[in-house]
Amino acid sequence: MKPKTLMESLRKKLLALDGKGYKAYKAISGEYGFSLGETRFRLSIDHVQGDPFALPSRISVWLDMTQARLPESLRKNTVRRVALEDFLGRALRQAIGRFVKGRRGSGCSGEISIAGGGQQVLVRNAVLISSQGVEARLTLGLPAENRRAAGREALAMFFDELPKVVAAGLYFDNLDAARAERHVFSVEDQHTLRHWLREEGLVAFVANGAHLPRASGVDDRPLRNHVLPFAAPDSLTRVVTLPNAGRIEGLGIPAGVTLIVGGGFHGKSTLLRALEYGVYDHIPGDGRERVATLETAVKVRAEDGRAIHEVNISPFINHLPFGRDTQRFSTENASGSTSQAANIIEALDSGAELLLIDEDTSATNFMIRDERMQRLVAGDKEPITPLVRRVRELYTAHGVSSVIVMGGSGDYFDVADTVIMMDTYEPRDVTQQAHALARPIEDSPPGLPPFERQAARCPGPQALDASRGKRPVKIDTPETGLLRYGRHRIDLSQVEQLIDIGQTRAIGLMIHYFARHYATDCRSLVEGLRRVMDDAEQFGLDRFSEYKVGNLALPRLFELAAAINRIREGEWR
């Protein structure tokens, strides 16, 4: 059929089902060609909801590149393409706000939405660009009145609102070209900056002028008032030339052991949080778009109550009472110290090259054990070897750096390479002063168990079973920090670099994919998950879903492994 004929076919169907039972909407599933003035696109109604209170219907829109006219220069490599996809997703969201009326009856009637947003630029499947064209995947709440189809209201959504959204959000001629370039070039600069770190022997960089404070603890947007622009001390200033922004200066944090010290409320944790999120690209105007951290950086913390399965925590915790094995340690209810030890070992297993640690979220007895306590409690009675005794070894023997926020103990002066003091949100290099206060480094007690960088451990079938009741696969993601996978409830609320619900959705599907494709002959969990991540890079996020969705975002290997490591039930081998 010609596009106009297909468009009229949808119009007739919507008028015919007006006032009928809601399930009559099932008749509109399929593809339709739209041609309204200068706006031409192909609409695919991929899934029709069965009830106005159910999840909205899924639709997708396709434009040929001759219509979209997306400049080849802004999509000529993967980094630029992902950035442009992100920009178009945000443009569509703004267009929805302008042109979509919204509520048109019961439940989610009248809603049109696209997944994404936030301050970070992630690999998503909401907007997909190829050499032939661009596809956008949206959800649309088909309107209803008392569970009866409101076909005429749906007609307005499909024939008035949706074409305006498409024209404003996907036709490059209607977009702000300078803003699109700024978005794409900013993301490219961040990628360049992150690769430059390795060349310079750095683990992180914070550009002068960066705005690090956030609006609130639950609002990741920048704080707008009374913000002091970041300014690096001369002794730690490094210079980098970026392909688009040119020459910039900022704080370069060298590899090794770095302390961030200072009084309370002076910006220590704010700086660390910026470094945590520095593994991701940020949108222009976020304030952290020139903050970069090694992509293999992992924030570790104490996590009381988490489950641990067959983890070798003996480098930190050994000779437990009653001869409990710490080389293959398991528990359903970890303490602060055992959970933090497991988090570090699991991060190392996943390939972490930088540990980010804040004393405020750490177990005190895991971080330090002062001289007087050592005198009172003999070494053979204390199973915990604190991090301060092994953090230098992690770097010198294994190349794993650490950035540690420490405000309450000077013991880490003895092992630190660099000490940065935050003073009213201004960083100062106090390395020399700290070293003057340091004591000679004591040798580690003899016979400490070595660190394992690769663990031979893998979950059994029960842990990876996605079935629930009569459903062979049941995966729900009610919020970013919670994944319901089969019968398992996986708490990810303290996996702090998991930032988007789309990542959590993808993690659930990727676990199921791993169970079907790589778990049977699994010798190492991380080895198997690397194969899953390779498939994501080669085939895209659609590889993991059995039907077309547009609400997935790519997680890192570290957060994917963290989810499996926190499954409570099931044997490991």
Rounded distance, CA 300 to CA 289, Å? 23
Does the residue 115 lie in any domain? yes
Q: Is 66:48 a contact under the CB 8 Å cutoff?
A: no
- Domain identity same for 54 and 190: no
Q: What is residue 80's three-state secondary structure?
A: helix
* Beta-sheet pairing, 120-121 with 148-149: unpaired
Two tokens at 370? 């002062």
Please say which residue of 175, 194, 228 terminates a domain. Answer: 175
The CA R_g of the chain, rounded to the nearest whole Å, is 26
Please say which residue of 455, 486, 507 terminates a domain. Answer: 455
- Domain identity same for 199 and 330: yes
- Domain identity same for 158 and 185: no
| Listed residue (75, 79, 72, 284) closest to 188, CA to CA | 79
Does the residue 461 lie in any domain? no
Rounded distance, CA 149 to CA 155, Å? 11
**Sign of the torsion formed by the C-alpha atoms of 165, 171, 176 and 181:** positive
Predicted local confidence at residue 445, as pLDDT: 64
Q: Is 337:384 a contact under the CB 8 Å cutoff?
A: yes
Burial 2-17, CB ≥16 within 10 A → b, else e: ebeebbeebeebbeeb
| Listed residue (407, 360, 364, 363) closest to 266, CA to CA | 407
- Domain identity same for 450 and 312: yes
Contacts of 468 (CB under 8 A, 6+ apart): 474, 486, 487
- Domain identity same for 14 and 48: yes
Burial 423-461, CB ≥16 within 10 A → b, else e: eebbbbbbbeebeeeeeeeeeeeeeeeebeeebebbbee
CATH of the domain at 213: 3.40.50.300
Tell me the DSSP string of 158-186.
IIIIHHHHHHHHH-GGGS-HHHHHHHHHH
Does the residue 468 lie in any domain? no
Residues in the chain, overall count: 573
| Amino acid, single-letter form, for residue 280 | Y
- Please list the residues that pair with 490 across neighbouring strands: 483
Rounded distance, CA 48 to CA 45, Å? 7
| Listed residue (358, 362, 344) closest to 308, CA to CA | 344
Q: Is 75:147 a contact under the CB 8 Å cutoff?
A: no
How does pLDDT run across 526-560, given as a tens digit for each residue?
999 999 999 999 999 999 999 999 999 999 999 99
Using alpha carbons only, give the angle 241, 246, 251 rounded to the nearest 5 degrees.
55
Does the residue 571 lie in any domain? no
Using alpha carbons only, give the angle 23, 26, 29 rounded to the nearest 5 degrees.
160
- Domain identity same for 233 and 375: yes
For residue 520, what are the CA distances in angstroms to 213, 466, 467?
Answer: 46, 15, 17
Cα end-to-end span (Å), the chain = 57
> Between 78-99 and 162-170, two packed helices, what is the crossing angle to 10 degrees?
140
Q: Is 114:542 a contact under the CB 8 Å cutoff?
A: no
- Domain identity same for 444 and 493: no
**Residue-number span of the structural domain to which 441 is assigned:** 180-455
- Domain identity same for 140 and 224: no
Q: What is residue 260's three-state secondary structure?
A: strand
Q: Is 484:475 a contact under the CB 8 Å cutoff?
A: yes
Displacement of CA 570 from its chain's centroid (Å): 26
How does pLDDT run across 454-498, given as a tens digit for each residue?
888 999 988 999 999 999 999 999 999 999 999 999 999 999 999
- Domain identity same for 28 and 128: yes
Domain count, the chain: 3
- Domain identity same for 299 and 284: yes
Predicted local confidence at residue 254, as pLDDT: 98
Residues in the chain with pLDDT values less than 50: 1
How does pLDDT run across 85-124, given as a tens digit for each residue?
999 999 999 999 999 999 999 899 999 999 998 999 999 9
Contacts of 178 (CB under 8 A, 6+ apart): none
Burial class (CB in 10 A: 0-12, 13-18, 19+), 359: buried
Q: Is 263:407 a contact under the CB 8 Å cutoff?
A: yes
Burial 337-358, CB ≥16 within 10 A → b, else e: bbbbbbbbbbbbbbbbbbbbbb
- Domain identity same for 157 and 202: no
Does the residue 440 lie in any domain? yes
Does the residue 351 lie in any domain? yes
- Domain identity same for 239 and 388: yes
Please say which residue of 115, 148, 175 terminates a domain. Answer: 175
Rounded distance, CA 186 to CA 192, Å? 10
Burial 228-247, CB ≥16 within 10 A → b, else e: eebbbeeebebebebeebee
Predicted local confidence at residue 370, as pLDDT: 66
Burial 507-522, CB ≥16 within 10 A → b, else e: bbbbbbbbbeebbeeb
Report the predicted TM-score, pTM, of the whole model to 2 decimal places. 0.96
Predicted local confidence at residue 318, as pLDDT: 87
Does the residue 464 lie in any domain? no
Does the residue 522 lie in any domain? yes
In which element (H, E) is residue 489 found?
strand 488-491
